């Protein structure tokens, strides 16, 4: 992994539903190997479950500053993304290509990456997560736009 732009003194929060379980386990191992402390908010098996039960705790950790950033995985990533974005201060981005992960950080200062396990490979999920964690927010004209997101 490349150097991160997030504070590695804080853990990363990670969560998924049953569709994302295999990816979560693979990403968690990758992140730990890269030196991250990882707070796993579940799920802990491939048994059918509800994505919101795991997206809310991840988003809450990021929103309160208890986690540097969040990683959420479900089948399409739509459910976890919608759920996370209900939390004040969260800018969750649904990413399906590496360039989208970079732009989510550069232009939107995203703090949670949402990965669609049914539509990307585990390798691409790892690459996108690495890109997300190592890409800085550009600020400038994008700062004004990000400030307009919250109501």
Length of the chain: 151
**Does residue 142 carry a catalytic annotation?**
no
Residue 8 phi, psi (nearest 5): -80, 0
**In 10 A of CB 97, how many CB atoms?**
13
**Does residue 18 carry a catalytic annotation?**
no
Residue 147 phi, psi (nearest 5): -65, -20
Q: Which of 16, 18, 56, 74 is catalytic?
A: 74
Q: Which of 56, 81, 87, 107 is catalytic?
A: 107
Tell me the catalytic residues.
74, 107
């Amino acid at each position: 992994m490349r150097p991160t732009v997030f504070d590695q003194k804080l853990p990363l929060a990670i969560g998924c539903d049953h569709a994302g379980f295999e990816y979560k386990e693979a990403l968690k191992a990758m992140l730990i190997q890269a030196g991250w402390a990882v707070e796993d908010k579940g799920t802990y098996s491939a048994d059918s479950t509800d994505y919101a039960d795991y997206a809310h705790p991840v988003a809450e950790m990021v929103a309160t500053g208890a986690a540097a950033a969040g990683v959420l995985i479900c089948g399409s990533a739509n459910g976890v993304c919608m759920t996370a974005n209900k939390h004040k201060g969260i800018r969750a981005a649904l990413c399906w290509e590496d360039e989208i992960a970079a732009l989510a950080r550069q232009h939107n200062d995203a703090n949670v990456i949402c990965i669609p396990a049914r539509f990307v490979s585990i390798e691409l999920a790892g690459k996108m997560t690495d890109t997300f964690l190592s890409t800085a927010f550009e600020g400038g004209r994008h700062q004004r736009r990000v400030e307009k997101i919250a109501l």
